[in-house]
Amino acid sequence: MRIKIPNIDRVGIVLDIAQLLASRQINIISMEVELKIVYLETAPLSDEMTQSLLNDLSSIPGVLDIMPVDLMPHQEKSEQLTAILAAANDGILAIDRYARITQYNLAAEKIMHTPCDQALGQELLSVFPYCHPLLESLKSGRIYTNHEVFAEETHSHYLVSSRPLFDQSGIITGAMAILKDIQDVRKLFQQLTEQPVLTFQEILHCSKSMQQVIALAKAYAQGDSTVLIRGETGTGKELFARALHAASPRADNIFVPVNCAAIPDTLLESELFGYEEGTFTGAVKGGKQGLFELANGGTLFLDEIGETSSHLQAKLLRVLQDRKVRRIGSSREIPVNVRILAATNRNLEDMIVSGSFREDLYYRLNVIPLFLPPLRERREDIPLLVDFFVRHFSARLHKQVKIISETALSKLCSYAWPGNIRELENVIERAINIITGPTLLAEHIILHYDTPSGLPQLTLTQHTLEEALEKTEREILCRALRQFHTSRQLGKMLGLSHTAVLKKLRKHGLTLNHFTPA
């Protein structure tokens, strides 16, 4: 029998209730006292004895009512706590003042790979010898937040946040930890940073060459082999990489792009492979996982792979061979399950001959080559792309451009487009900015080069071959400087190192800011 007895707060009312049950030889299983309420649990009673007892309890001075309850307060709280622990996605681990495990939910069991019956009631370090943050919280009262733990014994990889537990007097009575499986952390990162999914259906085209490339890419997407996407700058290599990922069995997992040319080698190594705490000045406390680990289960896209140093190429080769990552400053190897997509606009074969790209890495990356045609080889796609960009930038810039003149379209279709789709996008954006009416005219199309071939027209009878080449080289540099203003950008466009670019600029009396507007 379980009952709730609301009462007037007076001294001795609990004693009166206890004496009444003792006089009837009724065993009290539990009694809980709150302000103006007494909860009572007894052994099972017959209906006749129950009614008689309730009548006698009602006659005790100060008793206001008697109501049956399903559970005692401590039982209700215990069931509530059990339900909360079972429903929690994060692991919960708690210890008492003697470092014995008192709480250990199902999520913690999955993360720690240790059954509940082997953990509850046991001394913490005897079961989990690597749980030092939790023990430190118990001993010193220190709070840890997202401390990374990798337990090789159980292959558990998680983040732990621990804090001490205090009683009403402020004395530490235990400690508890929240455990987050590293896979759940990666999924959370993916949700927070997720970009719109791009599929092959969204790649605008009508040319046969692009139809063939997309058909091949769809077939490649179903496998798990490394794909090396080749093509000139601006041909849409990253778009294809995203579409490959979206069409692959890994589509529900993370896609991590990294531009190898945009990050200095010293930083790129730590970004890709991560590092341990204290590895170098400025390192994040607790260390940091690299992009290979972050992309585990998903796809890692290495854009501009031809820009990496020989040192980094050697480390990439090791990861591709062993499928294991070693953080900077660590001796531990972490298995990773990552599909690699790489892209470059460089001629890797020439780079192998010159010794600037490793041949063994080339064969590891070039498992499945995918060549994207330049825009000048699929001119039938230009009207489709122009229409899309006109509508896009008109909406973005609040313009009402609805008509593309024949002369404008003819000018666009006859141009060589050395910068491919990216250049076409820039030209249309520039045109929409200067349009005042509803029609895109040829005069609104401002191209980087005067002639469709992209080269100056020379009268060979007026120049020796050497002079013509010198003039051509200077003209190309001048035109490139109008678009790019760093030696690294110029080098990527022209297929030269940044030092070679600087030498040629000095040779022709040019500077990087030669055509930069004041």
The domain spans of the chain are 2-72, 88-184, 195-371, 375-444, 460-507
What are 302-317's pLDDT values in tens digits? 999 999 998 999 999 9
pTM of the model: 0.63
Average pLDDT over the chain, rounded to an integer: 87
Per-residue pLDDT at 196:
67
What are 178-230's pLDDT values in tens digits? 999 888 887 777 666 666 678 999 999 999 999 999 999 999 999 999 999 99
- Asked whether the beta carbons of 229 and 301 are under 8 A apart, the reply is no
What are 158-171's pLDDT values in tens digits? 888 999 999 888 89
- CATH superfamily of domain region 195-371: P-loop containing nucleotide triphosphate hydrolases (3.40.50.300)
Ramachandran area for residue 423 (φ above 0: left; ψ -120 to 50: alpha; else beta): alpha
What are 374-425's pLDDT values in tens digits? 999 999 999 999 999 999 999 999 999 999 999 999 999 999 899 999 999 9
Per-residue pLDDT at 203:
93
Take residue 133 and report the two structure tokens written for it: 């943050």
- Asked whether the beta carbons of 218 and 201 are under 8 A apart, the reply is no
Take residue 144 and report the two structure tokens written for it: 């840890």
- What's the CATH architecture for 375-444? Orthogonal Bundle (1.10)
For the cut 80, the answer to whether the pLDDT of residue 247 exceeds it is yes
Q: Give 418's contacts (C-beta < 8 A, 6+ positions apart).
A: 232, 448, 449, 454
Burial class (CB in 10 A: 0-12, 13-18, 19+), 403: exposed
For the cut 80, the answer to whether the pLDDT of residue 70 exceeds it is yes
Reply yes or no on domain 88-184 having CATH 1.10.3720.10: no
Q: Between 423 and 478, whose confidence is greater?
A: 423
Per-residue pLDDT at 456:
45
Take residue 320 and report the two structure tokens written for it: 């591709």
- CATH superfamily of domain region 2-72: ACT domain (3.30.70.260)
Per-residue pLDDT at 164:
93
